[in-house]
Amino acid sequence: MKALKLDRNAIGQWLSAMAGERDIYVPAPDGPAKGTWTLLTDYSMPEIKPGVPARPVKNFLFPQPETLLKFSTVPTDPNCCLPSEPEENGRKNVVFGVRPCDARSIGLNALACKADTYYQANMEKNAIIGLTCSQVCSTCFCSETGGSPMGTEGCDVSLTEIDGSYIARAMTERGEALLALAESSGKEVTDSDISAVEALEEKARAGSDEIRNPEEQLRAKDLMELYNAPFWQELADRCINCGACTFLCPTCYCFDIQDETLHGKGRRIRCQDSCMFPLFTLHASGHNPRGQKIQRVRNRFMHKMKYFPDRFGPISCVGCGRCVRDCPVNIDIREVMRSLLHI
Amino acid sequence: MSSTKNPYRPYPARLDNIKVETEDGNLKTFRIVLEDKADREAWKHTAGQFAMLSLAGKGEIPIGIASSPTEEGHLLFTVNRAGVVTTALHNMKEGDRIGVRGPLGNGFPVDTELKGKNIVIIAGGFAFTTLRATLIYMLEHRQDYGKITVIYGARTPGMLLYRDELEKWQARDDVDMHVTIDREAPGWDGLVGFVPTIAGQVAPSPDNAAALICGPPIMIKFTMPPLEEIGWTDDQVYLSLENRMKCGIGICGHCSVGPVYVCHDGPVFTRSQVQKLPIEY
């Protein structure tokens, strides 16, 4: 696969070349939009701080909200109540500066969304240009979840900063085509560039994390034994069911479907939902299968650490640390994972 | 949109006939005809499967398919008025447009595990719908099954579903019908007693048999002991679970019970499968 060495200037030219056919989104700089992803309008290398922005990349794969269908509700309209798919504007995106954890989440969610044509279409629509991590934050734990600060999974192109320049490696055919647009401004990579990247990869592998491949250990454990573990109650006592973790989590993909109508025009939308909320499971009869907080708290962690790996293989957590960073009552998923591994 | 079929897009359909089933007016059976011939021809379901009924502007609800695959040309759904969408549906009239998304879920294994077995159908209240589909399918393929026993109970005679059909089945000699109501009622000369009691009296043999049980959880709970006493085991008992659902295709998370999705892996499970799951249904 193609690889180029790009200095900041060359990145700017590359962004400008890609902007011809795609909208480019980058982590927003400090200011009112901080923490979100913003449309790039001046084509220079954006300042991307260490760690992940508050909003995960899933917002490009599950737009908030996403129109699934639209319909008329005017009774005299012959097409009344006949749903149709919304027209696409055809514009594609580049999501630039995606950290390895976020990039990896796209493929994990795709395991559950194989039959979901909208998710598949959004994967088509959004090209991912990753940026490996030269600095690991205190809340980061990607290596403990099967990822790496140097990871490229889910990226079309992966950038690694070395001495103020970037080694850009195409990881997919789509990435190859995008990187071709940088050919005129970039330089060929040298052997020493490649060995510098390999040295970083080696260093990432040699990290001193105590947990490796938790999914294998967790899959081997008895489901009901984990479910009945004594520590859930203590966690539930602290949790306020605010749902922040689920909205910030790149691998929480649960959603709600709702209909909206205004002046005879309607649409069926989907938006993120959270298993932290009692309404998530409430029956019309009033019965609620997860009516207690402990059931909801437990469901989120069990889904990530046991149900998902049992079904698909890997754990549904990429170690981005957003939930650790932003939980108002300091619940730490790393501790939960350790507790589960010790059962 | 990619060329593969959009799983969220319902088939356009019309309400062909609406029948009030119960004396309280809370249950209606909707006969639905898919508008497009191609959709009608492509539609194939198994007894025990469900579909999403889609009301534009109101939302979708998962409802068991009450018609047997052998009843061609239309679909039946018996719906209890409970929430926003079911209330809107109850207020609709014949000829109105509706959407149908499905069939979804697994259904009863009528053509595999249940073939050649003696069948015991136990239903309470308005949980009889997909069992009606199953019973009709089995009666249409009568030679594929052994003895068929039906135990069906409701609170009052007026709360029994499919009254006309119950009478027809009672008149047949190839199905053993036990229709019961909870308490004595004027004009009722049939069985009186709760479903578990009647199940204990009928005492269907567990030899080469399978039981399909649908009803309120309390009925299922009390029906099991008399069956277990005469030798029934959990892997002979099929249950159909219900949970809140949105996508219907095993993604959105609402109906999950531990590692399984009721919409995708169910709604039909054996009791031994259910026993291994957290009680989140």
Q: Nearest-CA distance from A20 to chain B in Å?
A: 23
Q: Nearest-CA distance from A24 to chain B in Å?
A: 21
Chain B contact present for A81, CB below 8 A: yes
pLDDT for A90 beyond 80 = no
- Res. B1 pLDDT band, cuts 50 70 90: very low
Say yes or no for a CB contact (<8 Å) between A112 and B60: no
pLDDT digits 0-9 by tens, B31-64: 999 999 999 999 999 999 999 999 999 999 999 9
The residue of chain B nearest to residue A114, with distances taken between CA atoms, is B251
**Nearest to B108, CA basis, from B76, B80, B136:** B136
State the pLDDT at residue B216.
87
Q: Cα-flanking dihedrals φ and ψ of residue A179, to 5°? A: -70, -25
Q: Cα-flanking dihedrals φ and ψ of residue A98, to 5°? A: -80, 130
DSSP string of B133-146, one letter each residue: HHHHHHHHTGGGSS
pLDDT digits 0-9 by tens, A244-280: 999 999 999 999 999 999 999 999 999 999 999 999 9
The residue of chain A nearest to residue B57, with distances taken between CA atoms, is A259
Say yes or no for a CB contact (<8 Å) between B254 and A303: no
Q: Strand A255-262's sheet: what is its strand order?
A: A66-72, A265-272, A255-262
Residues B111-121, mean pLDDT to the nearest whole number: 96
The residue of chain A nearest to residue B241, with distances taken between CA atoms, is A289
Pairing outcome for strands A187-188 and A165-170: unpaired
pLDDT digits 0-9 by tens, B146-157: 999 999 999 999
- By percentage, how much of chain B surpasses pLDDT 90? 93
Distance, in Å, from the CA atom of B129 to the CA atom of A194, rounded to the nearest integer, reads: 66
Q: Strand A22-27's sheet: what is its strand order?
A: A37-39, A22-27, A92-98, A126-131, A157-162, A165-170, A3-6, A187-188
The residue of chain B nearest to residue A77, with distances taken between CA atoms, is B97
pLDDT digits 0-9 by tens, A93-149: 999 999 999 999 999 999 999 999 999 999 999 999 999 999 989 999 999 999 999
- Residue span(s) of chain B under CATH 2.40.30.10 come to 11-104
Q: What is the pTM of this model?
A: 0.92
Residues 106-125 of A with CB under 8 A from B: 112-113, 115-118, 120-121, 124
State the pLDDT at residue B2.
37
Say yes or no for a CB contact (<8 Å) between A85 and B6: yes
Q: Which of A255, A258, A284 sits opposite B82 (nearest CB)?
A: A284
State the pLDDT at residue B4.
62
Residues 30-69 of A with CB under 8 A from B: 68-69
> Which residues in chain B have their CB less than 8 angstroms from residue A309's CB?
none
State the pLDDT at residue A230.
94
Q: Which DSSP category does A190 fall into? A: P
DSSP string of chain B, one letter each residue: --SS--TTPPEEEEEEEEEE-STTS-EEEEEEEESSHHHHHH----TT-EEEEEETTTEEEEEE--S-TTSTT-EEEEEE--SHHHHHHHT--TT-EEEEEEEES----TTTTTTTSEEEEEEEGGGGHHHHHHHHHHHHTGGGSS-EEEEEEESSGGG-S-HHHHHHHHH-SSSEEEEEESS--TT--SEES-HHHHHHHH----TTEEEEEES-HHHHHHHHHHHHHTT--GGGEEEE-----SSSSS-SSTTEETTEEHHHH-SEEEHHHHHTS-S--
Chain B contact present for A87, CB below 8 A: no
Query: Collapsing DSSP states into helix, strand and coil, what is residue A127?
Result: strand
Place of tokens 């850009």: A168
Identify the residue among A61, A69, A70, A81 best suited for mutation to test binding to B, counting B beta carbons within 10 A and taking the highest: A81
- Res. A213 pLDDT band, cuts 50 70 90: confident
Bond before A27 cis per omega within 30 degrees: no
Domains of chain A by residue range? 3-64+85-205, 214-341
Residues of B with CB under 8 A from a CB of A: 1-2, 4-10, 12, 54-60, 82-83, 86, 97-99, 242-244, 246-247, 249-254, 256-259, 276, 278-281
Q: What angle do CA B11, B17, B18 make, to 5 degrees?
A: 105
Q: Which of A117, A227, A254 sits opposite B4 (nearest CB)?
A: A117
Q: Cα-flanking dihedrals φ and ψ of residue A262, to 5°? A: -150, 125
Distance, in Å, from the CA atom of A323 to the CA atom of A246, rounded to the nearest integer, reads: 8
Q: Mean pLDDT for chain B?
A: 94
pLDDT for B189 beyond 50 = yes
The residue of chain B nearest to residue A285, with distances taken between CA atoms, is B82
State the pLDDT at residue A190.
93
Q: What angle do CA B169, B175, B180 make, to 5 degrees?
A: 65
- Res. A88 pLDDT band, cuts 50 70 90: confident
Q: First CA to last CA across chain A, in angstroms?
A: 44
Q: Which of A73, A118, A280 sits opposite B254 (nearest CB)?
A: A280
Say yes or no for a CB contact (<8 Å) between B256 and A223: no
Say yes or no for a CB contact (<8 Å) between B244 and A283: yes
pLDDT digits 0-9 by tens, A302-323: 999 999 999 999 999 999 999 9
Q: Mean pLDDT for chain A?
A: 94
Query: What crossing angle do the helices spanning A293-302 and A333-341 adopt, rounded to 10°?
Result: 80
Say yes or no for a CB contact (<8 Å) between A302 and B258: yes
Chain B contact present for A277, CB below 8 A: no
The residue of chain B nearest to residue A272, with distances taken between CA atoms, is B252
> Which residues in chain A have their CB less than 8 angstroms from residue B58's CB?
259
Contact in structure between B2 and A120 (CB atoms under 8 Å): yes
- Residue span(s) of chain B under CATH 3.40.50.80 come to 118-240
Distance, in Å, from the CA atom of B87 to the CA atom of B81, rounded to the nearest integer, reads: 5
- Res. B217 pLDDT band, cuts 50 70 90: confident
The residue of chain A nearest to residue B253, with distances taken between CA atoms, is A254
DSSP string of A46-103, one letter each residue: ----SS--SS-THHHHS-SSEEEEEEE--TTSTTBT--BPPPP---EEEEEEE-HHHH
Query: What crossing angle do the helices spanning B195-202 and B217-229 adopt, rounded to 10°?
Result: 20
State the pLDDT at residue A207.
67
Q: Nearest-CA distance from A107 to chain B in Å?
A: 15
Contact in structure between A104 and A147 (CB atoms under 8 Å): yes
DSSP string of A260-317, one letter each residue: EEETTEEEEEEEE--TTSGGGT--TTS--TT-SHHHHHHHHHHIIIIIHHHHHSS-S-
Amino acid at A335: E
- By percentage, how much of chain A surpasses pLDDT 90? 89
pLDDT for B3 beyond 50 = no
Domain topology for B11-104: Elongation Factor Tu (Ef-tu); domain 3 (2.40.30)
Q: What is the C-alpha radius of gyration for chain A, rounded to an integer number of angstroms?
A: 22
Element (H, E) at A199: helix A191-205
* CATH of the domain spanning B118-240: 3.40.50.80
Residues A212-230, mean pLDDT to the nearest whole number: 93
The residue of chain B nearest to residue A62, with distances taken between CA atoms, is B252
How many helices (H) does chain A have, and how many strands (E)? 14, 11
> Which residues in chain A have their CB less than 8 angstroms from residue B83's CB?
284
> Which residues in chain A have their CB less than 8 angstroms from residue B258's CB?
223, 227, 302, 307
Identify the residue among A113, A116, A118 best suited for mutation to test binding to B, counting B beta carbons within 10 A and taking the highest: A116
Say yes or no for a CB contact (<8 Å) between A118 and B58: no
